[in-house]
Copies of this chain bind each other. A is one copy, B any other.
């Protein structure tokens, strides 16, 4: 068998478990020295390939590669850099092939979301056109949970577990203080286009009256009057109200609430974010004291409370990517296929990149309750397994002990290329 090198890159927003995918992929590659030589990792994602900045992962010890499994973020660097169409960016695609050729790379693994799967697909096409033998495998990753065909996306389950845990904990806090202090608490979470993360907050509420009481989805146009009425009802009934709101909350015209602030609508010229805006609206109209929290990057980097299922899937997809490549599968992406909800059973499946690229999976309408403020039983059945299991990282000096790799690049062989 011919030995070829591999190229692996992380793309887009990082997650608590994308390094677990890298771990699975590199460990599996190391088990096949007869087929795979060096796994090169792109420094800062695909930019590393374009600039020939190729990290030699052979220089990382087995122990350090194993530690990737419990380290959040992108160990080799990731980037927000989308290759456009082959027509527009032909020179970049050709450069990729040149770099691959120069370093005898026969396997291309691209670990990302929708855009990255599109890029991986295009790279497979250009390689074919240029007659360069390259096996391209996309590896799913995105907290947005919006890739099609796969049951879920690695990274999402851990964000889901983090936000549901956080909103439950804050809910206990608010409940115990509401009589004389904060009555309304708002947690703003990620998910600009789809309400998956907002929906996950709903898992914290296991019976009527348990917080969060209101979820504000990007899929449901924000109606201030109805929202205020529901908040009022909760405060009367439970003494307090906990709200989870998507950063992507929009009005009926599709305009982001976070961008629509004006003196007319809210009485304030500028506010911090949609979380504060809806909280301030409550204060202005109902007079309740509020607090709000903005989880921001904390939610996607919180490896300390990662989902065991998410972690296991992230790792397994990295392993599967190598197995697919070694089996000669090209322009594919390993996926998670659900076999049963409870107890949850899943297996690795396969999807064609052509079917994945640029297809965004939306949250099904039947996952949102009739009043638009919570999740349905169907949604709960889907989400529940994804947050199961705890696999905390090792701790040292009271803090999670994460690995920083050496990240040494191999010598360049080609002229400089400016991205």
Question: Which A residues form the contact surface with B (CB < 8 A)?
Answer: 10, 13-14, 16, 44, 47, 71-81, 161, 164-166, 168-170, 172-177, 179-182, 185, 187, 203-204, 206, 268-273, 276, 291-298, 300-305, 307, 384, 387-390, 392, 395, 397-400, 402
Contacts and interface: CB of A to CB of B under 8 A. Distances in A.
Contacts of A390: 392, 395
B294 A294 contact: yes
A8 to B, nearest CB: 14
Nearest to A180: B79
Copy count, this protein chain = 2
Nearest to A390: B395
Contact of A388 (B175, B297, B397): B397
A296 B276 CA distance: 12
A56 to B, nearest CB: 18
B402 A387 contact: no
A293 B298 contact: yes
A86 to B, nearest CB: 21
A295 B293 contact: yes
A308 to B, nearest CB: 8
Given A77-B179, A180-B44, A165 B399 contact: yes
Contacts of A298: 166, 169-170, 187, 293, 295, 298
Contacts of A397: 203, 206, 384, 387-388
Given A14-B176, A300-B173, A270 B273 contact: no
A304 B80 CA distance: 32
Contact of A293 (B276, B296, B384): B296
A372 to B, nearest CB: 24
Contacts of A10: 176
Contacts of A389: 398
Given A73-B175, A292-B296, A294-B293, A169 B302 contact: yes
B203 A47 contact: no
Nearest to A164: B399
Nearest to A169: B301
A399 B302 CA distance: 14
19 contacts: A73-B176, A74-B176, A75-B176, A78-B177, A165-B399, A168-B399, A169-B297, A169-B301, A182-B297, A206-B397, A272-B294, A291-B296, A292-B294, A293-B295, A294-B296, A384-B397, A388-B398, A389-B398, A390-B392
